[in-house]
Structure 1
């Protein structure tokens, strides 16, 4: 069976899943990318071993560092050249509409995948985005979502539960060879991600830091990432008398030690489709406070006591953080819960579900 997967770009975590999909020599996977990279993405993705890649020519409308609209007419000829048995589309841009149209005309099934949910889905407020989703989703053979909230979104656009599967996002950050204890971790708080306020909530983060500093007297903060507010954050932490370390953008192999160096990871997202950094922190046994506007915060907090999900209320975050930083037994309990849950997130599940969707879609189309 030949599987085509059309996506914006390849990320380290999707690369790991793609590598694990084709276990049989009779199966082939080709990933068709709208671009080789995107602004503010600096991932070092290894070359593929078990799948092939085609970088499509085309146009990109850059709306923000996380929002891009692609038009790659060449996806039609690329699909014709590969002639897949099933097509996966991993977004709802014009390129994906062309790919779905190719599948329909050539009588091949297509499946849709998403990590979105109602809070972050543009279809909730944009007519054109809603039109594309209503055009693509109900006609899909299967829908695959990062979690329960993603499945609910696909269901709202017309896919029944019987044609939905989970495609969990799995961290590509290697787990540490040993987990540092609370006393071995030199930093109190960690920040990882783009340094902005519109989406990541850096101003909220700083207000929490300020209040914790008043309670504790001393505070050490480590920051990984870049963004428009990096200099502001450095100046603000210095003004507060907080000890800090800025690492800039770190690759996956360096993030393991980063998360293993902090007692608490804060993720005050103002709206994330998933929020993979919560998985990354969890893999290092690092307790996490995540915003209720991140899908990972909402879903993982139901499965692990080591992920605390709160609304963006400063006092609640300060209370939860202070208790954790002051109570080593409480910290150990949350850390152990995260380690236990992280062990359940492996590439085998999303790879198996992707292959299952491909197999069942092609079987149904052959009837």
Structure 2
């Protein structure tokens, strides 16, 4: 059985559901989830804690960067290397290009573990990134053992950034969306009553 660490920012309901499915249905691997923070101030999600198996929530310094439409959050986690060493995964899968992904990549290289990069970003969504963001992408993309794209547009971005096609795997964001549609409809009903 292989041990896999999944590193991402906060417990979003659709990720929690995906990780729970993986942990309960894929028996040949043991999955551990590392979140860099419990929440962000622009989220009001209700998470089913009973679905958060093998979960580690880190303390992080969170920097909010204000943008034109929405803020962006940078999580700088404490002790991610300690948690990874405690879990001792065979494979680390880290989301995007943040400090946690960079730290996970460095830990993986030092400990001779496989590192997989996962991205939701597209050429369009990342068209205005800055110099530091470009550097972090070059480091992660240039050193990952494989990459997971959550859409064909994310795959297109990875190809444009130089990831060989045979190292890219497309894994569409799949989750039962009915509860989210119901939640949205309930909010719309409340708003119309006001």
Whether these two folds match at TM > 0.5 is yes
Counting strand residues as a fraction of each chain, which structure ranks higher? 2
1:189-221 alpha-carbon deviations (Å, 9 max, x no partner): xxxxxxxxxxxxxxxxxxxxxxxxxxxxxxxxx
1:165-195 alpha-carbon deviations (Å, 9 max, x no partner): 12222355326xxxxxxxxxxxxxxxxxxxx
Report the Cα offset of residue 72 of structure 1: 1.0
SS class of match (2:105): helix
Report the Cα offset of residue 66 of structure 1: 4.4
Q: Map 1:105-120 to 2 at 5 A.
A: 105-120=110-125
Shift of the 29–74 alpha-carbon distance from structure 1 to 2, 3 Å rule, reads same
Question: 2:55 and 2:62 mapped to 1: Cα distance?
Answer: 19
Match of 2:59 in 1: 57
Match of 2:192 in 1: none
- The answer on whether the counterparts of 2:16 and 2:52 sit within 8 Å (CA) in structure 1 is no
Question: 2:26 and 2:152 mapped to 1: Cα distance?
Answer: 30
Which one has a bigger Cα radius of gyration?
1
Report the Cα offset of residue 32 of structure 1: 0.7
- The answer on whether the counterparts of 2:90 and 2:113 sit within 8 Å (CA) in structure 1 is yes
Question: 1:66 and 1:2 mapped to 2: Cα distance?
Answer: 34
Q: Map 1:67-78 to 2 at 5 A.
A: 67-78=72-83
Q: Map 1:210-229 to 2 at 5 A.
A: none
- The answer on whether the counterparts of 2:97 and 2:136 sit within 8 Å (CA) in structure 1 is yes
SS class of match (2:75): strand
Report the Cα offset of residue 255 of structure 1: 2.2
Question: 1:259 and 1:40 mapped to 2: Cα distance?
Answer: 16
Match of 1:10 in 2: 11
Question: 1:37 and 1:5 mapped to 2: Cα distance?
Answer: 17
Shift of the 260–39 alpha-carbon distance from structure 1 to 2, 3 Å rule, reads closer
Question: 2:129 and 2:10 mapped to 1: Cα distance?
Answer: 25
Question: 1:160 and 1:103 mapped to 2: Cα distance?
Answer: 20
Q: In angstroms, what is the RMSD of aligned CA positions?
A: 2.3
Number of equivalent positions: 184
- Consecutive unaligned residues in structure 2, runs of 5 or more: 190-194
1:38 to 37, 40, 56: 40
Shift of the 164–125 alpha-carbon distance from structure 1 to 2, 3 Å rule, reads same
Question: 2:53 and 2:29 mapped to 1: Cα distance?
Answer: 10
Match of 1:81 in 2: 86
Match of 1:163 in 2: 167
Report the Cα offset of residue 138 of structure 1: 2.4
- Consecutive unaligned residues in structure 1, runs of 5 or more: 176-251, 262-367
Report the Cα offset of residue 103 of structure 1: 0.3
Instruction: Say whether residues 1:255 and 2:183 are aligned partners.
Output: yes
